[in-house]
């Protein structure tokens, strides 16, 4: 392909809106353009990368025995009511309504559709296992789309669903996908790690996320340098409280704290560590208020809280509710004497010595609170977000926390959807059993961005060969000089049998512009011919990643390119 015959639109300046490298580089290198918030057009260069990632995903899914199908984007409301997710997932779903009044979901995921399909097609254990997948556009009503295709309203996903007769089969299907995912990300040039993850809105009993470690990632991963344990911090168990100093034995005392509401303000006022505070948050879960206690330096893990509350997604209560249930406005809640409301306490508050907490009266806090003495009978559970230094739930050594980008997620779903939607099969004995499901997602467009997050430098992208838009750039300096285009064409012809994707920069532009564009877009190998070639008969071959440069005669180019791309 000639540069002048395609549409490559590089930008000289960094786009202001872009906060992270992949977003910035995808715009600057002309891989995509923004249409509106969270909506991007893939330009020819970007689409080539996207398709290469798609093909790697497709090949590995097929190799693992999964079957490709294509389900509708639009899904009828009734199906989502059957699974109970019409309401529970409302906040992130985009919906459309026909002129005739039918309500449709723009699929954020396809458990309902695929389970309904299998319910209709498969009735005997003989047809199991089956694993169906699709590569399709998905939708999510992000409140604040950002980071380009990393968190957008519309994106390409591979979603797959396995159906097995028994747990052993389901475990096998899960393992096959887990291994396929490892191969997929490796082939894309990604260093990805599988970490234990929360099952969240999908339900089910086990799940792993595939995380690409990156400073710009939105997820936090707890990693144990000791035993190798790794988990999303939302999932990582925080087993024990920690000892927080000796008790003085003094009685609880009231201290006026006019207008002081946050742990930071109060820590300063009391000259006390945030670790001495019993933070008391009022949540609403299914409309019912509940008080949740956690140590002042820690955060509540709402996923864990949801599970403790039986699945309903908790939301922080409004000021009016807080006033009604505690007697005080926001900022002055505490567990001492709090009645008529359930209290859930994180392990971290169990051993706070002489703690500080709200007094359930405006502008009042209590000091010298010892929770076993002053709030007797509380049970302590795991509600906190894991943090660096927490003991590893596996070996007890202190964990580290790294940031990561979630590119894939595999779940053991169990029978939640097969029961709700009737995916029941006859087993060998003639009995009926709901199929045991797994589901498996890969963010295809997000994977493109993750590759760039891991492979860039101050000049631009440094594509791994397998997903580069073109693997080789043949760059003609002074292409109007007789002999130069001929030399370029000769090298392109010599490379043709290798099956490499080749782009030919035939623009009548300056060497500076052309070299900068080549580095910015990040073609793995650049081959330059110009006046020097006319003098010496040698082409310059440069490897983007290693910056190795070779000057070789045209006939040696193909072997060198093979070596550099290996």
Interacting residue ranges for a second copy, rule: CB under 8 A? 5-7, 9, 33, 35-37, 39-44, 47, 50, 65, 67-76, 91, 94-100, 102, 104, 106, 113, 116-117, 120-121, 127, 130, 132, 136-137, 139, 141, 143, 153-154
User: Residue 41 CB, nearest distance to a second copy (Å)?
Assistant: 5
**Which lies closer to a second copy via its Cβ, residue 97 or residue 288?**
97
Candidates 315, 447, 421; CA nearest to 80 is 421
User: Residue 346 CB, nearest distance to a second copy (Å)?
Assistant: 31
DSSP-derived 3-state class of residue 201: helix
**Which lies closer to a second copy via its Cβ, residue 68 or residue 250?**
68
**Which lies closer to a second copy via its Cβ, residue 63 or residue 373?**
63
User: Residue 429 CB, nearest distance to a second copy (Å)?
Assistant: 21
Angstrom CA distances, 482 to 64, 209, 393, stand at: 53, 56, 70
**Which lies closer to a second copy via its Cβ, residue 51 or residue 324?**
51
The answer for residues whose C-beta is within 8 angstroms of residue 383's C-beta and 6 or more apart is: 292, 294, 300, 301, 304, 305, 308, 344, 345, 346, 347
Angstrom CA distances, 558 to 10, 184, 517, 527, stand at: 28, 27, 23, 11
> What are the helix (H) ranges across 154-250?
167-187
**Which lies closer to a second copy via its Cβ, residue 2 or residue 253?**
2
User: Residue 215 CB, nearest distance to a second copy (Å)?
Assistant: 28
**Which lies closer to a second copy via its Cβ, residue 1 or residue 494?**
1
Angstrom CA distances, 207 to 108, 405, 409, 436, 542, stand at: 19, 16, 7, 14, 43
**Which lies closer to a second copy via its Cβ, residue 163 or residue 277?**
163
Contact 153, 425 (CB under 8 A): no
Contact 29, 13 (CB under 8 A): no
User: Residue 360 CB, nearest distance to a second copy (Å)?
Assistant: 34
User: Residue 54 CB, nearest distance to a second copy (Å)?
Assistant: 11
User: Rounded to an integer, what distance in angstroms lies between the CA atom of residue 301 and that of residue 304?
Assistant: 6
Angstrom CA distances, 176 to 129, 171, 172, 404, stand at: 12, 9, 6, 24
Strand spans (E) along 454-497 = 456-457, 460-461, 472-476
User: Residue 49 CB, nearest distance to a second copy (Å)?
Assistant: 11
């Amino acid at each position: 392909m000639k540069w002048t015959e395609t549409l490559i639109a590089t930008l000289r300046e960094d786009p202001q809106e872009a906060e992270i490298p992949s977003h910035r580089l995808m715009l600057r290198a002309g891989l995509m353009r923004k249409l509106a918030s969270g909506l991007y057009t893939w330009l020819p260069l970007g689409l080539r990368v996207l398709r290469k990632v798609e093909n790697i995903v497709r090949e590995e899914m097929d190799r693992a025995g999964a079957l490709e199908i294509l389900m509708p984007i639009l899904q009828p409301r009734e199906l989502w009511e059957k699974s109970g997710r019409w309401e529970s997932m409302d906040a992130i779903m985009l919906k459309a309504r026909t002129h005739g009044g039918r309500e449709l979901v723009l699929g954020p995921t396809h458990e309902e559709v695929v389970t309904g399909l299998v319910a209709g097609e498969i009735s005997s254990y003989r047809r199991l296992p089956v694993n169906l997948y699709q590569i399709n556009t998905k939708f999510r009503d992000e409140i604040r789309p950002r980071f380009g295709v990393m968190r957008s309203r519309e994106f390409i996903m591979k979603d797959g669903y396995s159906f097995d007769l028994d747990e052993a089969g389901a475990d096998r299907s899960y393992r096959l996908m887990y291994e396929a995912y490892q191969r997929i990300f490796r082939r894309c040039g990604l260093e990805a790690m599988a970490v234990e993850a929360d099952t969240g809105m999908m339900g089910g009993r086990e799940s792993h996320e595939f995380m690409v470690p990156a400073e710009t990632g939105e997820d936090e991963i707890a990693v144990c340098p000791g035993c190798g344990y790794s988990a999303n911090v939302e999932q990582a168990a925080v087993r024990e409280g920690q000892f927080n100093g000796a008790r003085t034995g003094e009685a609880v005392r009231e201290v006026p704290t006019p207008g002081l509401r946050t742990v930071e303000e109060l820590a300063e006022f009391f000259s006390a560590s945030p670790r001495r505070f019993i933070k008391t948050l009022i949540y609403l879960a299914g409309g019912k208020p509940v008080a949740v206690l956690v140590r002042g330096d820690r955060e509540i893990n709402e996923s864990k809280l949801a599970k403790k509350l039986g699945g309903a997604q908790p939301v922080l209560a409004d000021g009016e509710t807080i006033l009604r249930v505690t007697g005080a406005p926001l900022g002055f809640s505490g567990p001492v004497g709090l009645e008529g409301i359930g209290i859930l306490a994180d392990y971290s508050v169990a051993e706070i010595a002489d703690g500080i907490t709200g007094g359930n009266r405006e502008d009042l806090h209590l000091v010298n609170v010892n929770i076993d003495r002053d709030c007797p009978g509380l049970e302590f559970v795991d509600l906190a977000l894991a943090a660096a230094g927490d003991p590893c739930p596996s070996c007890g050594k202190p964990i580290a926390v790294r940031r990561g980008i979630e590119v894939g997620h595999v779940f053991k779903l169990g029978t939640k959807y097969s029961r709700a939607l009737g995916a029941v099969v006859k087993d060998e004995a003639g009995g009926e059993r709901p199929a045991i499901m797994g589901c498996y997602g890969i963010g295809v467009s997000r994977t493109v961005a993750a590759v760039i997050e891991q492979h860039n430098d101050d000049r631009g992208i440094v594509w791994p060969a397998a997903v580069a838009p073109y693997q080789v750039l043949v760059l003609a300096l002074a292409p109007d000089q007789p002999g130069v285009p001929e030399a370029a064409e000769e090298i392109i012809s010599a490379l043709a049998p290798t099956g490499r994707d080749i782009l030919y920069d035939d623009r009548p532009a300056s060497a500076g512009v052309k070299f900068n564009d080549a580095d910015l877009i990040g073609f793995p190998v650049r081959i330059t011919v110009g006046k020097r070639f006319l003098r010496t008969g040698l082409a310059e071959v440069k490897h983007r990643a290693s910056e190795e440069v070779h000057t070789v005669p045209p006939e040696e180019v193909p072997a060198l390119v093979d070596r550099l791309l290996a």
